[in-house]
């Protein structure tokens, strides 16, 4: 597996699957979740409602169509909400390993990831970066390219530095 870094919008990535940092309700939200639902259109929400009528548990992963995005699938993960007191790092790392397991089930060869829980859910960014890199590197997968998508130059620089360590 090749781990790459790009700066940009996760919803525009030309990959087999994009990972969505979703909330437990699976009905759209803020940050990455809002961008994915906006770019994918109503098909993403309709598939979420159909496939996840009761939502998805924190730390879990599941997939839907990507609707109007270039990707074929969205792999939704529910990261822990650090701001609300969810501090179990294992829930955060399970989002990455779980998303790769779903990607393998789908036969996806390229997957784009955001930094899960590092935005609205306020997980400390340095630890979110380390959790992402360490888990992605340590997880066995058939995926050829895992792309970390940094939203903004500050995030890009921080991830690039961590990748060199």
In this predicted model, what pLDDT tens digit does every residue of 35-58 receive, in sequence order? Answer: 999 999 999 999 999 999 999 999
Q: Which of 9, 14, 33, 54 is catalytic?
A: 33
In this predicted model, what pLDDT tens digit does every residue of 95-147 receive, in sequence order? Answer: 999 999 999 999 999 999 999 999 999 999 999 999 999 999 999 999 999 99
Q: What is the pTM of this model?
A: 0.97
What's the gap between Cα 88 and its chain centre? 17
Q: How many domains does the chain have?
A: 1
CA 46 – CA 143 distance, rounded (Å): 27
Q: Catalytic site residue 33? A: yes
In this predicted model, what pLDDT tens digit does every residue of 52-99 receive, in sequence order? Answer: 999 999 999 999 999 999 999 999 999 999 999 999 999 999 999 999
Q: What is the pLDDT of residue 165?
A: 77
Residue 50 tokens read as 């159909």
Domain CATH number, residue 25: 3.40.220.10
Range of the structural domain that residue 136 is part of: 2-164
Ramachandran angles phi, psi of 48, nearest 5°: -60, -45
- Tell me which DSSP letter residue 10 carries: G
CA 163 – CA 12 distance, rounded (Å): 23
Residue 142 DSSP SS3: coil
Residue 98 tokens read as 């779980």
Q: What is the pLDDT of residue 53?
A: 97
Sign of CA dihedral 97, 112, 164, 160: negative
């Amino acid at each position: 597996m090749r781990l790459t870094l790009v700066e940009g919008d996760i919803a525009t990535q030309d990959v087999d699957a994009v990972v969505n940092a979703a909330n437990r309700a699976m009905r759209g939200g803020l940050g990455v979740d809002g961008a994915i639902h906006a770019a994918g259109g109503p098909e993403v929400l309709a598939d979420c409602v159909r496939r996840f009528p009761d939502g998805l548990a924190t730390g879990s992963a599941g997939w839907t169509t990507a609707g109007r995005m270039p990707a074929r699938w969205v792999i939704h993960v529910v990261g822990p909400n650090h701001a609300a007191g969810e501090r179990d790092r294992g829930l955060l790392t399970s989002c990455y390993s779980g998303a790769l397991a779903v990607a393998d089930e789908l036969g996806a060869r390229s997957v784009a990831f955001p930094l899960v829980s590092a935005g609205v859910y306020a997980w400390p960014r340095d630890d979110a970066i380390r959790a992402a890199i360490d888990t992605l590197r340590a997880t066995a997968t058939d995926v050829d390219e895992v792309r970390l998508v940094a939203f903004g130059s500050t995030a890009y620089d921080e991830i690039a530095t961590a990748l060199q360590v």
